[in-house]
Amino acid sequence: MSPTKIPGELSVSFRYTPGVGNTAFFEGLRDRAVFLGSRCEDCGVTSVPARIFCERCLAELEPSLECGPEGELVSWTLVRVDVDDQPLERPVTYGLVRLDGADTVLLHRLLHTGGEPAIGERVRAVFTSPREGSMLDVEGFAPVADGAGP
């Protein structure tokens, strides 16, 4: 019999450099453990991570406004399976956090240990040390009520 299925692959590698806006954002995380955003005064919108332009009016923006490190939990999910639909050994909680001063939300892990997260609750970023300039410089967000705050 001839082959009924011909195996093939699309195997390409990528190296993504973060661009001008994200470079400022990652350097802020790495060097000062702060979240940098950018504000368009005309549109009244502050975005985190920082951008070099406003998507609503295309104005040039400075990627330099500090936001957070506390914020409000906007939504969350508990993930029990991996990308291949296999059960995770330890389920992971992800949340959308609106940092103080920002209008946009950030996706990251939640570090809640006791009880479920609650939409609307206050959370605070937990930074790693040392930091390399990456989203993983933030370990995740913990409830302020847990005493993660100052």
- Which positions lie near another protein, rule CB under 8 A? 1-23, 25-27, 30, 52-53, 55-58, 60, 133-134
54 binds Zn ion per the rule CB under 5 A: yes
Q: How far is the CB of 147 from another protein (least distance, A)?
A: 31
Tokens of 55: 């998507």
User: Which of another protein, Zn ion, none interacts with 114 (beta carbon under 5 to 8 A by kind)?
Assistant: none
Tokens of 137: 């410089």
Q: CA nearest 121: which of 97, 85, 86?
A: 97
User: Which of Zn ion, another protein, none interacts with 113 (beta carbon under 5 to 8 A by kind)?
Assistant: none
65 binds Zn ion per the rule CB under 5 A: no
Q: How far is the CB of 144 from another protein (least distance, A)?
A: 27
**Which region, judged by CB under 5 A, interacts with Zn ion, from 22-30, 50-58, 63-71, 78-86?**
50-58
Q: How far is the CB of 51 from another protein (least distance, A)?
A: 8
Q: Are 118 and 54 in contact (CB under 8 A)?
A: no
Q: Are 93 and 78 in contact (CB under 8 A)?
A: yes
Q: Tell me phi and psi for residue 84, to 5 degrees.
A: -95, 15
Q: CA nearest 66: which of 97, 122, 24, 7?
A: 24
Q: Which residues pair with 106 in a beta bridge?
A: 97
Q: Which residues pair with 95 in a beta bridge?
A: 76, 108
User: Which of Zn ion, another protein, none interacts with 83 (beta carbon under 5 to 8 A by kind)?
Assistant: none
Q: How far is the CB of 66 from another protein (least distance, A)?
A: 18
Interface residue list for Zn ion (CB under 5 A): 40, 42-43, 54, 56-57, 59
